[in-house]
Structure 1
Amino acid sequence: MTALATQTVHRLNNGDTFPDFRAELVGGGTLNLPADVAGSWSIVLFYRGDWCPFCRTQLSDFQKHIEQFAALNTRVVALSVDALSEAQNTVSKHNLSFPVAYGIDAQATAAAVGNYLSDGSDGKPTYSQATGFVLSPDGKVAVALYSSSAVGRLNAADTLGLLKYMQAAHA
């Protein structure tokens, strides 16, 4: 195991305030979390990269349900270590209408939100493993889902059901 795989990090728990996080967006501008999603429920998806078929499936799944999320006052954002060209390819190929950030620093991200990192055994530069958060309108973590590999991530149907349940409970 490499040092990256054994690094101790703090993972976010339900009720924790999501840390301030900044990343550049495909199409220009900057994503500032949690400020840019304050006042609405939100889904924050850290994905491994354009090369990952599981990530592409997840992002496409959320895009297919984007109107249902909007009806629940829920915003979706996605972030990866990808270079701008790779992130643009992901957005274009899957017609993503939600904000997609690129060029995040994997180790800084792990320090901030506690996601697992690749161990380099696949020959790729270090990247963030799939990690998903549902944030309440006040920027607190309602759900944190950490994966240590390609599988084990939020999907749109389960997330929609959970949002409906949580919003009814907070009504």
Structure 2
Amino acid sequence: MPQLLNPKSKLPNLDVPLVEGGQFNLADAKPEYFQFIVIYRGVHCPKCKNQLQEIDAKVADIRADGMDVVAISMDNEERAKKAVKEWELENLPIGYGLSLLTAKELGLFLSDSISDKEPKIFAEPAFFVVKPDGTLYAEFVQNTPFGRPALDEVLSGMKFAAENDYPTRGTSVA
């Protein structure tokens, strides 16, 4: 069974190639406030298409608010390029090749394919909010493609948190 990461814990090293070239390495990410890491199921997922298109349209606003975003899947390069092209993603960096080990370290739910359109195994969706020091501020981890948190709700909450130095919650050991 996956185990959620604890708030304030360091995320595992995330280092994946990007469709547009280069790498996304969490250790090198230095947003002013938060790095958003969106885990998506892969090019086979229509819910992922909707989510990433919505984020793609807001990348400039996200960055203007001192935050940054990347979307990552376990898809291979060919499938990731297909997602970028078919979904007409122009602004959102797309990483691919998330390893099974790293997916497990992130506490992601994993699924086996149920059709030939899906890879043999893939990660279910998640949304991590990471502070510049690499520690986890918030996480939204799911075992189904349905019921994702509303993007505007997450963005407005994180903007409030950044502007008001709102502490990481869920850390009580009571």
Query: Is the shorter-chain TM-score for this pair beyond 0.5, marking a shared fold?
Result: yes
Worse-matched range after superposition: 81-90 or 52-61 = 81-90
Aligned: 1:72 with 2:37: no
Q: 2:102 aligns with which of 101, 109, 113?
A: 109
Aligned: 1:84 with 2:77: yes
Aligned: 1:151 with 2:146: yes
> What's the secondary structure of 2:121's corresponding residue?
coil
For residue 141 of structure 2, what is the amino acid of its counterpart?
Y
2:7 and 2:135 in contact (8 A); partners too:
yes
Question: What's the offset of the Cα at 1:20?
Answer: 1.0
CA distance in 2, matches of 1:104, 1:155: 24
Unaligned runs of 5+ in 2: 167-174
Normalising by structure 2, report the TM-score.
0.84
CA distance in 1, matches of 2:43, 2:50: 11
Aligned: 1:46 with 2:39: yes
Consecutive aligned runs of 4 or more in structure 1 exceeding 2 Å deviation: 92-96, 119-124, 152-156
Q: 2:128 aligns with which of 120, 125, 133?
A: 133
Instruction: Provide the alpha-carbon RMSD of the alignment.
Output: 1.8
Question: What's the offset of the Cα at 1:122?
Answer: 4.6
Question: For 1:89-133, what per-residue CA distance to the aligned partner results, in whole angstroms no more than 9, with x for missing partners?
Answer: 22223223222111222x213322010000444563100000110
Q: 2:111 aligns with which of 114, 118, 138?
A: 118
Question: What's the offset of the Cα at 1:15?
Answer: 1.3
Aligned: 1:161 with 2:153: no
Normalising by structure 1, report the TM-score.
0.85
CA distance in 1, matches of 2:136, 2:50: 24
2:39 and 2:127 in contact (8 A); partners too:
yes
Unaligned runs of 5+ in 1: 1-7
How many aligned positions are there?
162
Name the residue aligned to 1:22. Answer: 15
